[in-house]
Amino acid sequence: MRAFVWLAPLVMSACWHGSAVAQTSDAKAAMDRLAESMKPAAIEKALASVVKLKTIAAPNARSNATLGNQREGNGILLAPRLVLTIGYLIMEADEVEITDSKGRKLPGKVAGFDAQSGLGLVRLLAPAQGEVIALGDVTTLKAMDPVLAVGAHGNVSPAFVSSRREFTGGWEYLLEDAIFTVPPIADWGGAALIEPSGKLVGVGSLFVRDAAGNGSGLSGNMFVPIDLLKPILDELIANGKRSGAQRPWLGITTFEDEDGVNVSRLSKSGPGEMAGLERGDIVSAVGATPVKTLAEFYRAVWATGDAGVNVPLTVTRGKNELTVTVKSVDRASQFAARTSH
């Protein structure tokens, strides 16, 4: 019976978002499908699988410069002692605490991190009270499909998929087929994206200003597809990372514009800084491969070899063109060690 407490206002909200935010008959139809296809019992179970997550990063963590040392978001129960979340919340975390659906606060520790997908795992020191979520299939998820974005403590928002497309982040990050949704939710970090049957299809990552990808300016959120977790889940649980060779990491933040790939930030004492790269440099080639976009840049870097490979970059600095060779590393090797146990 408790499911119907939130079901009625949720359907009303879905209709409002479909007409007032998207202003399209397709959006209204998507929200109507959501209202018709929702399975209250399954969704109620999914709501109880989302936990609140708080972390404190190590004092010397590199990520503190951009993420801060205290971070909050959401996590999703894969097992009573195992929580899935977005990786930046737990990157270099010294202390981890979750609050489960019953309000119990439980300590945990980082169990796994995957820079390639951006996902992370937390191992709890005691079992959480709540429901374990089932993993869905995103291969058929497409634009205009209805979904629910779920945060901790019953924070649920109706939404629909606005696009499936490539996403590039300036921190050496690329997803081939990210999930974009509208309207935006405020508590997106680590939030669960669930289909009407209550299965998990994505993990909340970012707020974006163009969720449709067509320049419409319709803001929304980006979710990491859950299918990226499935082939590496056992490896993360067993080893804390995906098996095999790791991608080369340069320790730089970049953005693209009409000039090309611009270096906007360098990780302190990271590979890029140590090689002599500077803020304002414009990268035009990796080896013999010209690059104009972030996606071209990342793919060219990763194609040079595994972490540890020398990556030759052609760089424009002012009126000069020069070659800077960066000795890459495995990103995880640069993480600060835990100081608490």
Instruction: Please name every residue paired with 51 in a beta bridge, in sequence order, or none if there are none.
Output: 75
Residue 6: is its pLDDT beyond 80? no
* pLDDT tens digits along 257-298: 999 999 999 999 999 999 999 999 999 999 999 999 999 999
Question: What DSSP line would sit under 163-225, residue for residue?
Answer: EEEEEEETTTEEEEEEEEEES--S--TTPEEE-TTS-EEEEEEEEES-SSSSS----EEEEEE
pLDDT at 336: 86
CA distance 89 to 73: 7
CA distance 175 to 173: 7
pLDDT at 153: 80
Say what the pTM is: 0.90
Residue 30: band (very low, low, confident or very high) from pLDDT cuts 50, 70, 90 = low
Could you tell me which residues come within 8 angstroms of residue 311 by beta carbon, excluding any fewer than 6 positions away?
Answer: 248, 250, 286, 287, 301, 304, 325, 326, 327, 328
As a whole number, mean pLDDT of residues 178-206 equals 95
CATH number of 252-334: 2.30.42.10
CATH 3.30.70.2080 assigned to domain 1-244? The reply is no
CA distance 106 to 99: 6
Enumerate the domain spans of the chain: 1-244, 252-334
The 10 Å Cβ neighbour count of residue 20 is 10
Candidate from 35-44, 140-149, 168-177, 238-247 with smallest mean pLDDT: 35-44
Residue 185: is its pLDDT beyond 50? yes
Residue 272, token pair as written in the block: 């890029």
